[in-house]
Amino acid sequence: MLVIIGPTASGKTRLAVQLAQQHNGEIISADSRQVYRGMDIGTGKDLADYVIDGQAISYHLIDIVDAGDDYNVFRYQQDFDRAVEDILRRGKTPILCGGSGMYIEAALRPTALLAVPTNAELRVELDPLTDNELRQRFDQTPSAYSSVADTSTRKRLIRAIEIGTYLTHHPDAQPAPRPALPPYRVIGLDPPVAIRRERISRRLRNRLQHGLIEEVQRLLDQGISPEKLIFYGLEYKFVTEHLQGQLTYHELVTQLETAIHQFAKRQMTFFRKMEREGMKVEWVYE
């Protein structure tokens, strides 16, 4: 198996498609938002990129649930295992490609994730806390999950507290076994920061010019709540706030651009953490 990781706008899909053509491969997406149907422009699906020299490259775990539905890393791990089994059974090479660190980590970890239910009462309790207070709460809720928890955003920090709290009250909870992974090689794309920033800015302008705002309006018209779209973050958060009159167009562009740059930095921080914890990565800096 090949694994392609890197921050947003680093060229992961293009490389994965080229490798799939060369190695009789099929691509498994590791993107936490591309699983949703109807969320195309904002998530950068760019499905036309999966055709190379007239050959359509098969892909998995894109457009598998409706926008607005709940999907999480536990479900992703199960879907990933089924996709790998299917690809290998047909004698092809799985190519895992994406920038969602939690999904990459879930795909590559040797043990299965626990199905920790949401705790609505706890979330109500945590919601008014500041980020620093949430961090203190997380530190006060140590568990076997603490060392691998992704706390890079507020919603992930709340989920980490939720998981830690569950494990504290269910100390005997054990993950189920999962199929052994095939041998894999991890290739990381990390272009120079100046190039990455220019790509992000150019891509954002292109998406805004080619229907991003209209896509979010269409999702709202379909009955998806503003709160759910804001929960999806980045493009969907800021465009929803713009459509609700909370941001001017100029504020939308400047704040969203800054947020995407910050997101790319957090992605690299997560990948470096995985590397420190033992994942061998062959970095490409072009």
Q: Is 248 labeled as ligand-binding?
A: no
At which residue do the structure tokens 């992930």 appear?
Answer: 156
Q: Is 9 annotated as a binding residue?
A: yes
Annotated binding-site residue? 155: no
CB 80 within 8 A of CB 61: yes
- CA atoms of 38 and 217, how far apart (whole Å): 11
> 61 and 35 in contact (C-beta within 8 Å)?
yes
153 known ligand binder: no
SS3 state of residue 281 = strand
Q: Check whether 7 is labelled as a binding-site residue.
A: yes
Q: Has 13 been labeled as part of a binding site?
A: yes
Question: What tokens does 17 get?
Answer: 């498609």
177 in a labelled binding site: no
Sort 171 into a burial class: Cβ within 10 Å, 0-12 / 13-18 / 19+.
Answer: exposed
Tokens 């909870």 belong to residue: 173
Which amino acid is located at 51 in the chain? Answer: V
Binding residue numbers: 6-13
Binding residue numbers for substrate: 8-13
Binding residue numbers for ATP: 6-13
